[in-house]
Chain A
């Protein structure tokens, strides 16, 4: 028997019972399609999360004032971090940029418009830490921080909401009656894991503490954000910072930290693990329908063997060996699962790309995964569901089979 013979025999047999073959193929189509779509969903979620974190930079570390929440009691009202802490951290060799951060809600007034947004007091290095790019003008410098100047950099969305020109550098806005000169506008970059980066007003931290808040503790800050050099070992640096801060805050051994260190890399790794499990779960659920499809093929092949007992008898009588019969039935089941897998692949990719990309607007990644998957399914499911019926067919006794009605 040539390959061509095998192919032709299988095709004629499958075509001989179109409705049944179609329904069996449908089982595989649905199974493969479900798996392909679930893989796409998992990968999209994973990619969205990775994208958001990478816009932030995975070598970012954020230190928050106050102890980690334990037993429902949070002792974080006290502002334990100071600008001096930030200055000391900046001296560590692995730290590329540091910025203390103080946030505050702000009602920004421009002409007759006003807009509520979040105001952040930062250092110029904040641009490096958060990957902020400037579209118009420039960011304020360290002199502005030292002098507590009333300069501000605003997000593009804030500018739009306030009805400003395309380039509002030089315009004056008021926050709690303090006039600020706009020196720069940040480049738009969409939402990220840390909330919108496009709607904000950034001012020197000293200005925020002294002029806007009039704080009694001008040195205290709620957060310190820092960026490490690419080759730094996050956990080593975090240990160093932790030890240093404990020392500076005069904590004794056994005392809880009065700050929390969040490592973005670690958070992202945790998120990736979680989405990995999510993906596995989705695939596992979809795989059940694939399993049902495979059982469908096996069922159909068993019925087919019973129905074609006489045909098998004829073939054996005129010289078909056991392997000929096995190959014939196996190739039928493989052909069915192959057709199903290919249609399922095309439909799965089409649906996930069509719905995900064009209707929901997600950037659904293309990957080789579904192709590898459907080809393996075609072979494995075809073989697994065909072996038992094929052997059953091959072992039929030609005499009894010929007499079978």
Chain B
């Protein structure tokens, strides 16, 4: 993977939702940022700030109302839902707060799922999925059902699934939100390793500054606007000050 290759290019992204009582509610205002290959970025913001909507657009789960979003050089703003599905499958590995594993499929089947939709041969799927399970240290749990695993293990299965497709980008939505602090730290350290050792680009959504600190860059969203974009500040106070300023 080339360094300094632009993975994500958001240009004046706006998103608004129609309201049932009529009119629209705008959630994102002119969001503009680029993310280069090999970065570890935390997108932070309180609930209601629009960071989830932002993540949905970054994750190609949703399209912006206006502005352009290029994912790995492809403009996804006007893609059909099938094209979006293909883009997600090829470029993005998702890690969710509540793991989102299929409860009735065993660990190996769960990891293989994105590869199946990619149309990979069954042998290749199994080979690659085993490799990923080995990487997350769960090679002995192939035949377990997710319900038989601890939260941390489930999240590692989810990471293995995200890695299996060898994506350019891992998009983690509150990956530690359902874990205790010890397991959460483990997962975050694992992300750090992936980023450092394999050069995988990671975008992590969180509302906690302590978690955001594992990243190298912080994008703070407040009321649908970018409030801060830069290296991790020494303390959260910087962000608070800025929001207060922004409100005035």
Contacts and interface: CB of A to CB of B under 8 A. Distances in A.
Interface of A: 1-2, 4-5, 12-13, 16, 310-311, 313-324, 398-399, 402
SS of B interface (majority):
helix
A314 B100 contact: yes
Contacts of A398: 61
Interface stretch (B3-11, B33-41, B69-77, B115-123): B115-123
B149 interface: no
A313 B90 CA distance: 17
A321 B82 contact: yes
22 contacts: A1-B116, A1-B117, A4-B122, A5-B116, A5-B122, A16-B104, A315-B113, A317-B94, A318-B113, A319-B85, A319-B86, A319-B114, A319-B118, A320-B85, A321-B82, A321-B85, A322-B81, A322-B82, A322-B85, A323-B82, A399-B61, A402-B61
A310 B104 contact: no
Nearest to A324: B117
B156 interface: no
Nearest to A395: B81
Given A314-B102, A399-B56, A319 B82 contact: no
A318 B104 contact: no
Contacts of A314: 100-102
B88 interface: yes
Given A12-B104, A12-B105, A317 B117 contact: no
Nearest to B96: A402
Contacts, number: 61
A402 B86 contact: no
Interface residues of B, number: 27
A311 B102 contact: yes
A398 B82 CA distance: 12
Contacts of B100: 310, 313-314, 317, 402
Interface string B134-175: 000000000000000000000000000100010000000000
Given A315-B113, A319-B118, 14 more contacts: A5-B116, A12-B105, A16-B104, A317-B88, A318-B89, A318-B114, A318-B117, A319-B117, A319-B165, A320-B85, A321-B81, A321-B82, A322-B81, A398-B61
B30 interface: no
B86 A321 contact: yes
A26 B25 CA distance: 50
Contact of B62 (A13, A310, A319, A399): A399
A319 B96 contact: no
Contacts of B104: 12-13, 16
Interface in B178-208: none
Contacts of A313: 100
Nearest to B81: A322
Nearest to B89: A319
A13 B113 CA distance: 15
Nearest to B94: A317
A318 B89 CA distance: 5
A120 to B, nearest CB: 77
B63 to A, nearest CB: 11
A3 to B, nearest CB: 11
Contacts of A13: 104
Given A16-B104, A314-B102, A321 B61 contact: no
A320 to B, nearest CB: 5
A2 B89 CA distance: 17
Interface in B39-67: 56, 59, 61-62
Contacts of B89: 318-319
Contacts of A4: 122
A317 B158 CA distance: 13
A16 to B, nearest CB: 5
Nearest to A398: B61
A16 B103 CA distance: 10
Nearest to A6: B116
A320 B119 CA distance: 11
Contact of A318 (B105, B122, B161): B161
Contacts of B85: 316, 319-322
A13 B103 CA distance: 11
Contacts of B94: 317-318
Contacts of A16: 104
A310 B100 CA distance: 8
Nearest to B104: A16
Interface in B92-109: 94, 96, 100-102, 104-105
Contacts of B59: 317
Contacts of B62: 399
Nearest to A5: B116
A402 to B, nearest CB: 7
Nearest to B117: A319
B61 A320 contact: no
A320 B87 CA distance: 11
A16 B165 CA distance: 27
A185 to B, nearest CB: 75
A197 B105 CA distance: 71
Contacts of B102: 311, 314
Contacts of A322: 81-82, 85
A320 B105 CA distance: 16
Contacts of B82: 321-323
The listed residue with most B CB atoms (<10 A of its CB), out of A1, A2, A317, A320, is A317
Contact of B119 (A1, A310, A311, A315): A1
Contacts of A402: 61, 96, 100
Contacts of A1: 116-117, 119
Contacts of B86: 319, 321
A319 B61 contact: no
A399 B165 CA distance: 21
A115 B89 CA distance: 92
